Chain A
Amino acid sequence: MSEPILRLEGVETRIGPYHILHGVSFDVPAGELTLLLGRNGAGKTTTLRTIMGLWRASAGRVLFDGRDITALPTPDIARAGLAYVPESMAVFSDLTVRENMVLAARSGPLDSARLDWIFGLFPALRRFWQSRAGVLSGGQKQMLAIARGLAEPRRLLLVDEPTKGLAPAMVRNMVEAFRQVKAAGETILLVEQNFHAASALGDDVAVMDNGTVVHSGPMRALAADAALQQSLLGLSLDQHQ
């Protein structure tokens, strides 16, 4: 396992009266795809939002490349090299696909070679380049949201449930796209409910339950152990479609 680019140490998050994260700790190694799995309400989305500073950690530390980013404002965290694709996709519906991508390329004009690579991953974006993002289908919006995260080289891509609500064919396309992104050397922390899709992608895995990490290790080991899957996730890979 390579050196962690992101490390969470005992992170706790409270939202109003609710105590959501209870000391979350795990590492994201550089150049690998780490999966964050868990049942609904386990705290996966809250973990990603806490990393991005969208919700504040009340205790613990988030270290990015050895630097404590726990208290940094969200824009500074993004500028440190993190890209975030939220569960809601959060594409700017009133802007065109092109304008969404232009905003994502913070440091200047879009790089044409990188754009060609993104179009290779998500051909629909080329077709709808000048269309308002609001008219795209759910799957196309998801493509745009991920493409926005890839518009410029970033050091870590955080993606929250990219296959949620997508048709099976679209899920297969998405898995293939992530396979290519991973092959390009990007470091990814991926929250995923679709265990079948996740197992095909992940190098490492952290499983959450009730606001804490209950298991972490290589994905290969979890994928091979049906009993462990059953105890951690309440299902086995064989049962999951």
Chain B
Amino acid sequence: MTDLGATTPASLPAPRRDWAALLLCPVLMAAALPLVGSASSWVTLTAAGLAMGMMIFLMASGLTLVFGLMDVINFGHGVFISIGAYAMLLVLGPLAGWAEADSLPLNLALLAVCIVVAMAVTAALGLVFERVIIRPVYRSHLKQILVTMGGMIVAEQAIHVVWGASPVAIRLPEAFRGAIVIGDAAVERYRVVAVAIGLVVFAGMSLVLNRTRLGLLIRAGVENPEMVEALGYRIRRLFVGVFVAGSALAGLGGVMWGFYRQTLTAGMGMEVMVLVFIVIIIGGLGSVGGCFVGSLLVALVANYVGFLAPKLALVSNILVMALVLAWRPQGLFPVARR
């Protein structure tokens, strides 16, 4: 990474922000308050929605980069989520004492180790997946869909072979169990952790994408990889790096999702892929900021609708996507395409 300390002429206008899209979630939250009626219920629903949104963002952010930069439709992304979750077992067994200790620092350390191990495992798997499965089918969407689904099926069976076919129950670390009560509202502790980690990851990704040469290259590569090459940068290496990073982020999402469910199954990643595809389409393919806003939007709407009109809950995600695409057919934050 290189600092972008370039000469900047003074007194120049700053880039404009897209406030309409940025304010969607705050406006939705404000609009939901009178509809929900009770402040405590609203706090609980909103906190749950934000936490769910952050977990979806963690699982989807890597895919949107891979889709945007490499033009690769990776239906196998879900398996990195599952493997990230299962990789926790490598840690939870040996460090079971840390999970049961009534110590926030130890529990946080355990979560950090789980995340590091899961990201390392999924990054390594991503490297192999890109080399063996993705690379031969660049530029062919149909083959990508077929071959990545095939890769996913193989990887899911491999999970059965390594960890068994039965669901695996895990327990949250002691300090993350239970809820924080604020007045009449209860917010689960683990959701606060999920929100914090989601924000840290989003801030880190935003920093890399907007403040470093690597980030500029990724954003430029999403738009016009040929011109990036003509400027002298090796886009193929960037592809591999982004695929590996995207796989590692899916692994991180798998850890958070696994702890949230407290039951691991080989298909748990694939089960959320519909949601993941919805948020990256809503956000605009290749846009990390769009993925973030789209994740929060989908999760908040699902929670509010589930409370206000339970019968509509099943279709709320599709409705949100249809409305957003009617408003902005390229997604909330469209990335200019070649």
Contacts and interface: CB of A to CB of B under 8 A. Distances in A.
B9 A94 contact: no
Interface string B1-44: 01011111100111100000000000000000000000000000
A84 B216 contact: no
A129 B7 CA distance: 11
Contact of A110 (B2, B6, B223): B6
B6 A94 contact: no
Contacts, number: 96
A96 B223 CA distance: 13
A92 B216 CA distance: 10
Chain B contact residues: over half helix, strand or loop, or mixed?
loop
B209 to A, nearest CB: 11
Contacts of A79: 232
Contact of B4 (A92, A102, A112, A126): A102
Interface in A62-100: 73-75, 78-79, 84, 86, 90, 92-96, 98-99
A109 interface: yes
B282 to A, nearest CB: 18
A109 B7 contact: yes
B220 A95 contact: yes
Interface string B219-234: 1101110111111111
A130 B233 contact: no
Nearest to A158: B230
Nearest to A89: B227
A130 B12 contact: yes
Given A95-B216, A101-B6, A102-B216, A86 B227 contact: yes
Interface string A7-45: 000000000000000000000000000000000000000
Interface in A98-126: 98-99, 101-106, 108-112, 115, 119, 126
Interface string B146-164: 0000000000000000000
Contacts of A106: 231-233
B6 A105 contact: yes
B232 A94 contact: no
B217 A103 contact: yes
B231 to A, nearest CB: 6
A213 interface: no
A213 to B, nearest CB: 23
